[in-house]
Amino acid sequence: MPCAELIAELKGILPPKSVLSEPSELLIYESDAFTAAKARPLAVLFPTSTEQVVAVVKILARRDIQIVPRGAGTGLAGGCVAFENGVIISTTRMNRILKIDLENRCALVEAGVRNTQLSDAVALLPGGGAFHFAPDPSSQRTSSIGGNAATNAGGIHTLKDFASSNHILGIEMVLADGQVLEAGGKDGCCESAGLDLPGLICGSEGTLGIITKLWVRLAPKASAFRTILSTFSNTADACEAVGDVIAAGMLPAAMEMLDGRMVRTVEDAFHLGLPGEAQALVVTEIDGIDALLDEQMNEIAEISRRPNAISVEMSADPAVRATLWKARKSAFGAIGRVSHCYCTQDACVSRSMLAAVLRRIDGIGKSHGVDITTLVHAADGNIHPIFLYDDRDESRVQNTLAAVDEVLKYCVEISGTATGEHGIGLEKLHLMPFMFDRATLVQFHRVKESFDPQGRINAGKLIAADTIDVSVRKPGRHVPQ
Ligand SMILES: Cc1cc2nc3c(=O)[nH]c(=O)nc-3n(C[C@H](O)[C@H](O)[C@H](O)COP(=O)(O)OP(=O)(O)OC[C@H]3O[C@@H](n4cnc5c(N)ncnc54)[C@H](O)[C@@H]3O)c2cc1C
């Protein structure tokens, strides 16, 4: 087995303790946060510079070994699972902020820098309190900016601030043969000449290369806010209120919805005083110029009351606003109390279809005997049905996976997508032919081939690879090795 020789060669070029290869060390790298699919990598590497990434990529290329880029491992689609004794290259030790340039409103960071690490560092600079790195997936304290770019992560504020790709100006990426690609603008220059390669790399889920550095945009931070919390006796009324706010021409910073089951789960766990009859809860945040916000807040409250809200509360006071956000922010913590395992799904539909989709999810859950509770980034139609299951019972796992498929296919059928922000990874690979026509899939393959002709970087994720049979539907869900 040439493995020992390979490990020794990798150890020779990386700093001490930067190569993991013992089974016990590899355990937590068998999956990302989509824990339904697991496979043990051959090794996990922690380079600290682009040069080291280049060196290890060249070694692995020579031996024709699969490479899986990994950031913080918070991905929810299995994008970090290593097939076929692949080697994971983790960017967590490439975590230096190399430049913050307030004049040009940009920063240069290594790929492993965390979202909040950058915003916190910006805030410490004179005048920096006015800026931040806007993408805010709920994982933002942990997830890496390289991972955000690779998945084109969204978050609570996507409606107003857009997804990660809108905040990435330039990318340095190591290609499958060890070449270093520098794409896009530097020093805040909004490069628009040539093909938009950063746009192509964002959302490519680690299939085109290993992102090592990023030029990112620093956005002005809002300083005045209002929060409105409404509860409703049915989800259709809540969806109507969401649609009416947007149709009235307002652009809330966030509009988050919890279904009735989630409201009850949160209430049982944290006793926030939410109405017992609530079948939906909507928390809306607006920000902008202080003097204009009260009028908008009252208009949103008025719109919410129209479709029979049970309660509408609102505030400008930071402490009260924090309590209005509490139900939404506590949702995932509460779920942990009621289910052994859960699988968070991620579909996107047009806002006008939200009520129909929530009804259908309810029906699918009942027909498969699966409990589903749903959280929605409502203003942008990004639905997170959360499937509660117990992985110790294989029949329940299979029912859950069947219910997941039915929900996602329904969303695609009504012109939505099977993912709004988490990506395809390996988990949704089988749904690609439902979402895209043949011509589009062929172009995806050609793009992949042009970056990685040997199919060595994260093959079998996002874009199907002929040689790899990925199925997370098999009992045990261990993927090919
Ligand atoms: C509690 C929780 C909440 C979440 N909330 C949100 C949310 O609100 N919005 C959202 O969009 N997502 C959310 N996610 C999913 C996840 O956090 C995001 O997709 C995040 O951007 C992944 O970053 P990461 O560093 O953890 O990437 P990883 O999980 O390490 O990797 C994700 C994918 O990106 C690729 N990748 C990572 N780094 C690189 C790199 N340097 N170069 C090339 N490819 C790379 C990997 O190969 C993989 O395919 C959440 C996850 C959790 C666990």
Whether 68 shows a pLDDT value over 50: the answer reads yes
> What pLDDT sits at residue 352?
94
* Lowest model confidence (mean pLDDT) among 182-196, 248-262, 363-377: 182-196
Q: Which residues contact 210 (CB under 8 A, 6 or more apart)?
A: 53, 57, 67, 69, 89, 91, 111, 173, 174, 457
Distance between CA 168 and CA 204 in Å, rounded?
Answer: 14
CA 63 → CA 3, 49, 211, 465, distances in Å? 10, 22, 22, 19
Distance between CA 277 and CA 298 in Å, rounded?
Answer: 24
Q: Which residues contact 317 (CB under 8 A, 6 or more apart)?
A: none
Which atom number of ligand 1 is nearest to the Cα of residue 332? 1
> What pLDDT sits at residue 340?
87
Whether 478 shows a pLDDT value over 50: the answer reads no
> What pLDDT sits at residue 474?
56
**Mean pLDDT, to the nearest integer, of 187-199?**
83
Q: Which amino acid is at 415?
A: S
CA of 115 to the centre of ligand 1 (A): 11
DSSP annotation of 172 reads E
- In terms of DSSP bridges, do strands 87-90 and 168-174 run parallel, antiparallel, or are they unpaired? unpaired
The partner residues of 284 in beta bridges, in order of sequence, read 228, 255
Q: In what order do the strands lie in the sheet containing 43-45?
A: 19-20, 43-45, 87-90, 67-70
> What pLDDT sits at residue 481?
42
From 331, 313, 351, select the one nearest 260 (Cα to Cα): 331
Count of C-beta atoms within a 10 Å radius of residue 154: 25
Distance between CA 376 and CA 365 in Å, rounded?
Answer: 17
CA of 367 to the centre of ligand 1 (A): 32
In 352-448, DSSP assigns E strands to 371-377, 382-389
Whether 473 shows a pLDDT value over 90: the answer reads no
**Residue-wise pLDDT tens digits, 88-109:** 999 999 999 999 999 999 999 9
> What pLDDT sits at residue 360?
97
- What is the crossing angle of helices 235-247 and 354-368, to 10°? 150
38 φ/ψ angles, rounded to the nearest 5 degrees: -140, 145
From 279, 155, 131, 273, select the one nearest 216 (Cα to Cα): 131
Cβ-contact 280, 231 below 8 angstroms: yes
**Alpha carbon nearest to ligand 1 atom 21, residue:** 148
Q: What is the CA radius of gyration of the chain?
A: 23
Residue 221 burial by Cβ neighbours in a 10 Å radius (0-12, 13-18, 19+): middle
**Mean pLDDT, to the nearest integer, of 20-49?**
94
**Residue-wise pLDDT tens digits, 324-355:** 999 999 998 899 899 988 889 999 999 999 99
Whether 418 shows a pLDDT value over 70: the answer reads yes
**Mean pLDDT, to the nearest integer, of 66-83?**
96
**Residue-wise pLDDT tens digits, 362-409:** 999 999 999 999 999 998 999 999 999 988 888 998 899 999 999 999
DSSP annotation of 316 reads -
What is the model's pTM?
A: 0.95
CA of 9 to the centre of ligand 1 (A): 30
Distance between CA 286 and CA 222 in Å, rounded?
Answer: 10
Q: How confident is the model at residue 308 (pLDDT cuts 50, 70, 90)?
A: confident
CA of 143 to the centre of ligand 1 (A): 6
Whether 131 shows a pLDDT value over 50: the answer reads yes
* Lowest model confidence (mean pLDDT) among 85-94, 258-267, 346-355, 460-469: 460-469
From 372, 420, 379, select the one nearest 228 (Cα to Cα): 379
Q: How confident is the model at residue 471 (pLDDT cuts 50, 70, 90)?
A: low
Distance between CA 278 and CA 86 in Å, rounded?
Answer: 48
* Lowest model confidence (mean pLDDT) among 11-20, 36-45, 183-192: 183-192
> What pLDDT sits at residue 187?
79
Greater model confidence, 429 or 189: 429
Residue ranges around ligand 1 (CB below 6 Å) = 32-33, 68-76, 79-80, 91, 111, 137-139, 143-144, 146-148, 150-151, 153-155, 205-206, 210-211, 332, 421-422, 425, 458, 461
**Alpha carbon nearest to ligand 1 atom 2, residue:** 139
The partner residues of 423 in beta bridges, in order of sequence, read none
Token pair recorded at residue 405 = 């498929």
CA of 241 to the centre of ligand 1 (A): 31
Report the greatest alpha carbon distance in the chain. Answer: 71
- In terms of DSSP bridges, do strands 67-70 and 87-90 run parallel, antiparallel, or are they unpaired? parallel
